[in-house]
Structure 1
């Protein structure tokens, strides 16, 4: 069983993906970490984020098993990832790794921005998780404050809107729901309410798939 979860930054897709993976006993991959890792390699080497050839080289040699999630979190890395993710060659270099992860015998849960449209277009379960930009900025602010990091909610909102525009407007694999994805708006929902709503949607999709 492959569960594909897409959505914009801070929509709650990562949290839901982890909980659904735990619920069904499936491996989980936050595909956004791959792009963050590519961006980090460029920054660590003192290279600009628009160094396309270096970004492609980093993506080609990336090992999913060695991703350091703690080092890749944080607002600056998210912004940087959005820049390198706009390169079609970078996305192509990471495509096989993501599909290989999804092809595990029991299946997998993957979250990102093009899982249902590009990575796993035949996934039986596709969710597109969203929330208002203001709510997403509020959540990201609370997350950063909880980690002891400085947080300016107005600046975070501006970043989110900029990332939304970049992710939705790129020529290759733009952020948009797959035609057969179920939309889940988490604005106004608690984490538990969002999880229960997602679980019901997944169960209904599984039931429909098994009845074919």
Structure 2
């Protein structure tokens, strides 16, 4: 199945943690009147529930079964729109440590990809951020971006954003997550071949967004 067929318009934004994905995606959503989705939210929900329910995150079948139960428990069949989870719960240190193990499970990623496709078909025009959106989830998206920045800069941003943890601890976690995401056998974090790569280390938000908007327009993304 092609996730971006028909009239669905998708902008795909990938990259490691704290590279600027959320900020720029929200700006693109505002510029082009798009719905926004953070794909990693579902992986975090599954990791959070695994911890809460005592499901070992290294037990692949148990985690997949948990995901299926969570989908069944969601009346809409889509965990992305659930309001049951607070951001501070999903961004806690235990979830940060568990989510990489959860995201390595191929069967689970397949289920999350289908949820994203379902959501996108309903929205029709959207911008989706993640780590495999342009490579796996929407491989023919008209506009793809890969944002990155030096780990030290990303750690500084994460400390400012979340307001907890020392810089040294956050930097170690950023590097650990990068290694886990880039080395996993299923849908590793890599730029799509046709993605526009932007290093945000020394760029302002306005500079990054300006370049992304220009690329989107060049590739046929317009206001409705």
Both proteins in one fold, TM over 0.5: yes
**1:30-69, aligned counterparts within 5 Å?**
30-60=38-68, 61-62=70-71, 63-67=79-83, 68=85
Q: Under a length normalisation based on structure 2, what TM-score does the superposition of the two structures give?
A: 0.84
Q: Which runs of 5+ in 2 are unaligned?
A: 1-8, 72-78
Indicate conservation of the 8 Å contact 2:56/2:63, yes or no.
no
For 1:113 and 1:79, locate their aligned partners in 2 and report how far apart those are by CA, in whole Å.
Answer: 17
Aligned-residue offset at 1:77 = 2.4
Q: In the alignment, which residue of structure 2 is the partner of 1:86? A: 104
* Residue 9 (1) aligns with residue 8 (2): no
* Residue 22 (1) aligns with residue 40 (2): no
What is the number of residues matched between the two proteins?
A: 204
Q: In the alignment, which residue of structure 1 is the partner of 2:131? A: 113
Q: Under a length normalisation based on structure 1, what TM-score does the superposition of the two structures give?
A: 0.89
Runs of 4+ more than 6 Å apart: none
SS at structure 2 position matched to 1:172: coil
For 2:86 and 2:130, locate their aligned partners in 1 and report how far apart those are by CA, in whole Å.
Answer: 15
**1:155-174, aligned counterparts within 5 Å?**
155-174=169-188
- Deviations along 1:153-189, one digit per CA (max 9) or x if unpaired, are 1111111111111111111100001111110111112
For 1:162 and 1:31, locate their aligned partners in 2 and report how far apart those are by CA, in whole Å.
Answer: 20
* Residue 137 (1) aligns with residue 139 (2): no
Comparing 151-160 with 187-196, greater Cα deviation is found at 187-196
Comparing 9-18 with 49-58, greater Cα deviation is found at 49-58
For 1:130 and 1:75, locate their aligned partners in 2 and report how far apart those are by CA, in whole Å.
Answer: 22
Indicate conservation of the 8 Å contact 2:35/2:123, yes or no.
no
- Deviations along 1:58-102, one digit per CA (max 9) or x if unpaired, are 323332221535232345423321220011111112111011222
Q: In the alignment, which residue of structure 1 is the partner of 2:6? A: none
Change (3 A) 1:191 1:69: farther
Q: Which runs of 5+ in 1 are unaligned?
A: none
Indicate conservation of the 8 Å contact 1:14/1:111, yes or no.
yes
* Residue 182 (1) aligns with residue 170 (2): no
- Deviations along 1:17-37, one digit per CA (max 9) or x if unpaired, are 122112211111100101000
Q: What is the alpha-carbon root mean square deviation over aligned residues?
A: 1.8
Indicate conservation of the 8 Å contact 1:31/1:110, yes or no.
yes
For 1:59 and 1:47, locate their aligned partners in 2 and report how far apart those are by CA, in whole Å.
Answer: 11
